[in-house]
């Protein structure tokens, strides 16, 4: 957070007595950006959070989300290079955070989620994303099917990941303006979303398990897109 969005950090609470290299780097970043640093006991830190804090807590302003208008402007701006990731029904904060991190690495211009079936930018999401929640815009839309249709009208192709698809992700041309749609584990992409896709694609699975974790599958698909676009 100090590296990607230091303006959102209001104060840091750091475990008293820690002087290791990782903490020293945080101290320097905080000083560089004028962020107040407060020493605290382990109990003080434990009382502030319900998860592992690793000796440091940042008090921050809430993360920013965007709307459909922002998404369509981004589509127009990036044209044939546009790349968007849609997560349909992914409600686990660890999965959303990991998907944001992969999206950042693959150069995705925005991650899109439905307002009524997503976890949003929670502290867990931002922690797992390791800064990607600040670098990759998160767009929340009311009607996902309608949004996909508008992106298609603007020139994007929509590719949905589905285990029952007949073709592999590697057999589809992914070099143009693209929307990759990933669904939640188990249920997959919702039926209405599935019908809106131009193509359905799958990953080859050689083992006994029928599917990958959604964040792992997202990473594999995104970097196949990267591979094709490098060519």
Binding residues for S-adenosyl-L-methionine: 183, 203, 212
Contact 54, 46 (CB under 8 A): no
- Nearest Cα neighbor of 111 from 182, 63, 62, 172 is 182
Pairing status of strand 56-60 against strand 9-15: antiparallel
Strand pairing class (65-66; 138-141): parallel
Neighbours of 221 (CB within 10 A): 25
4 exposure class (CB count in 10 Å sphere: 0-12, 13-18, 19+): middle
Tokens 């590296």 identify what position?
3
Task: At 133, list the tokens.
Answer: 């929640």
Q: Closest by alpha carbon to 169, among 177, 187, 181?
A: 181
> Which residues are documented as binding site?
183, 203, 212
Q: Over the Cα atoms of the chain, what is R_g?
A: 20
């Amino acid at each position: 957070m100090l590296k990607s969005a230091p303006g959102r950090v209001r104060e840091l609470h750091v475990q008293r007595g820690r002087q290791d290299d990782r903490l020293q780097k945080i101290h320097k970043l905080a000083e560089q950006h004028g962020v107040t640093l407060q020493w605290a006991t382990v109990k003080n830190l434990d009382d502030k959070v319900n998860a592992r804090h690793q000796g440091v807590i940042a008090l921050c302003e809430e993360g920013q989300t965007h709307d459909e208008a922002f998404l369509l402007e981004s589509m127009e701006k990036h044209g044939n290079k546009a790349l968007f990731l849609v997560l349909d029904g992914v409600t686990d904060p660890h999965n959303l955070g990991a998907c944001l991190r992969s999206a950042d690495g693959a150069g995705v211009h925005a991650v899109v989620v439905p307002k009524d079936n997503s976890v949003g930018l929670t502290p867990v999401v931002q922690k797992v994303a390791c800064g990607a929640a600040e670098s990759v815009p998160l767009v929340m839309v009311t009607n996902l099917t309608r949004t996909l249709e508008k992106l298609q009208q603007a020139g994007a192709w929509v590719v949905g990941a589905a285990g029952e698809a007949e073709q592999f992700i590697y057999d589809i041309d992914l070099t143009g303006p693209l929307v990759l749609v990933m669904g939640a584990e188990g249920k997959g992409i919702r039926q209405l979303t599935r019908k809106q896709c131009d193509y359905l694609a799958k990953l080859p699975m050689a083992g006994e398990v029928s599917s990958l974790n959604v964040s792992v599958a997202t990473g594999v698909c995104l970097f196949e897109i990267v591979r094709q676009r490098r060519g």
